[in-house]
Structure 1
Amino acid sequence: MRLQILDTGHGFGTKALFSFIQLVSRQPVLDVVKLVSYRPDFYGKPMSKVTQEVMRGPSSWSVAERELMAAFIAKTNRCEFCTKAHSAVAQRAFGDRRSVSNALSGLDTANVSEPLRSTLHMLGKLTREHTLNANDVSAVLAAGASRQQIEDALAICFVFNVIGRLADAFEFAVPGPEAFEAGAKYILTRGYR
């Protein structure tokens, strides 16, 4: 159920900012921006801080790999908005549209490292089944991922399972590819602040 609060629940200053964003980008303001701007002290600022740390903080996973994880989690959740948004960011970060599409459509044959492939399988299981066991983590370690990489990936899984569920609950509008490209360019330049 789409809540009208995303379209009407902002103060004058935020509405002015949205108008400016629309004017400069020539794209609609994405619903995710509207969500983090509504009651920012309750949800927007804390979640933006966590997302920024997980996606742009120190990690041996590259930005492109972390964005691919976000897209993979979104695809596993069947969240169209998040899948398209993070696929666009991952494609721009990798500089290769095809490798991201291949990873999302056929992980076992995709051209990705074994630690990343194994990690994505683990994240897919956790997203689908909401549980992991010692064997799941051992398989990722055996594929060459470090304990820290697993912790980083699990943090990404947390963030994008929350955001994906909110996107679906609020029925985020899915704009055209130009809006996702503009958003990807922005996120790679500025991060999730």
Structure 2
Amino acid sequence: MPHIALPEGLPGIRGALAFRPATAKPLNELAEVLLFGPNSLAPGERELIATYVSHLNDCHFCQSIHGAVAAAHLDGDEDLVKRVKADFQHAAISQKLKALLLIASKVQRGGKHVTRADVEHARTLGATDTEIHDTVLIAAAFCMYNRYVDGLGTTQPLDEAMYRERGKMVAQKGYVEGSKDYLPAEAAAH
């Protein structure tokens, strides 16, 4: 049961964003840039970072929806998403992504946990400064998004099929376009 009167029928962050469209616009735009926009990291890789941080923060809604978006970008490979959450060091992902997930996990605990050695290790595996920057920002943003969702006590369904279908839509349309079904036009517009 949400702590405040959020719109019914909109689980997780969608209800919180619909409650306050003025804040929804920049939050969706940030997610769009970080997870969906052009980047040398594939959208599936960026979604795995968001999923992993959300898993570490124990935010059911965010780890479920972003895991579903990641799987949609990864040809439906839900098992890979589960393996990354359980033990990314042994998942079938690149060494570079493993180094970035390590950085993300340290940001999740607190930004000062990231060391120069962590960054240098990621660089030796091919990570660019932009990829390192975006990994840190994705991790930091998802700490905020997770706390937003959980702090308001939003509805967080257990229905995996709901997340799977929404995940496919977000993977195709992105966060700004995908918000048009629950936000007023002025809040959903670019």
Same fold? TM cut 0.5: yes
Q: Distance in 2 between matches of 1:97 and 1:2?
A: 29
**Amino acid paired to 2:68:** A
Identity %: 25
Moved more, 152-161 or 108-117: 152-161
SS across alignment from 1:59: coil
Shift of 1:110: 0.8
Cα deviation, 1:122-164, whole Å, max 9, x if unaligned, reads 1001102332222221121122211111112122112211100
Q: Distance in 1 between matches of 2:85 and 2:21?
A: 32
In the alignment of these two chains, the number of paired residues is 173
* Structure whose alpha-carbon radius of gyration is higher: 1
Q: Is 1:107 equivalent to 2:107 in the alignment?
A: no
Q: Which has the higher contact order (CA 8 A, sep 6+)?
A: 2
- 1:160 maps to 2:142: yes
Which amino acid is 1:34 matched to?
G
Which residue in the other structure is 2:2 paired with? 2
Segments of structure 2 that go 5 or more residues without pairing to the other structure are 177-190
Q: Distance in 2 between matches of 1:100 and 1:39?
A: 31
Matches within 5 A, 1:25-44: 28-41=9-22, 43-44=23-24
AA at the equivalent of 2:54: A
1:84-123 superposed matches below 5 A: 84-95=64-75, 96-123=77-104
5 Å-filtered alignment, 1:174-185, equals 174-175=156-157, 176-185=159-168
Q: CA RMSD in A?
A: 1.6
Residues 6 and 31 in structure 1, CA contact (< 8 A), matched pair in contact too: no
Deviations along 1:32-86, one digit per CA (max 9) or x if unpaired, are 1121122211x11111111111111221010111111110010111111111111
Give distance in 2, aligned partners of 1:130 and 1:170. Answer: 24
Output the amino acid matched with 1:63: P
Task: Give the TM-score normalised by structure 1.
Answer: 0.83
The one-letter code of the counterpart of 2:146 is G
| 1:30 shift after superposition | 2.0
Contact 1:70–1:86 at 8 Å: present in 2 too?
A: yes
**1:4: how far off?**
2.8
Aligned pair partner of 2:132 in 120, 136, 150: 150
Distance 1:144 1:72 in 2: 21
**Partner SS for 1:191:** helix
C-alpha change, 1:129 and 1:154, in structure 2 (3 Å) is closer
Matched letter for residue 4 of structure 2:
Q
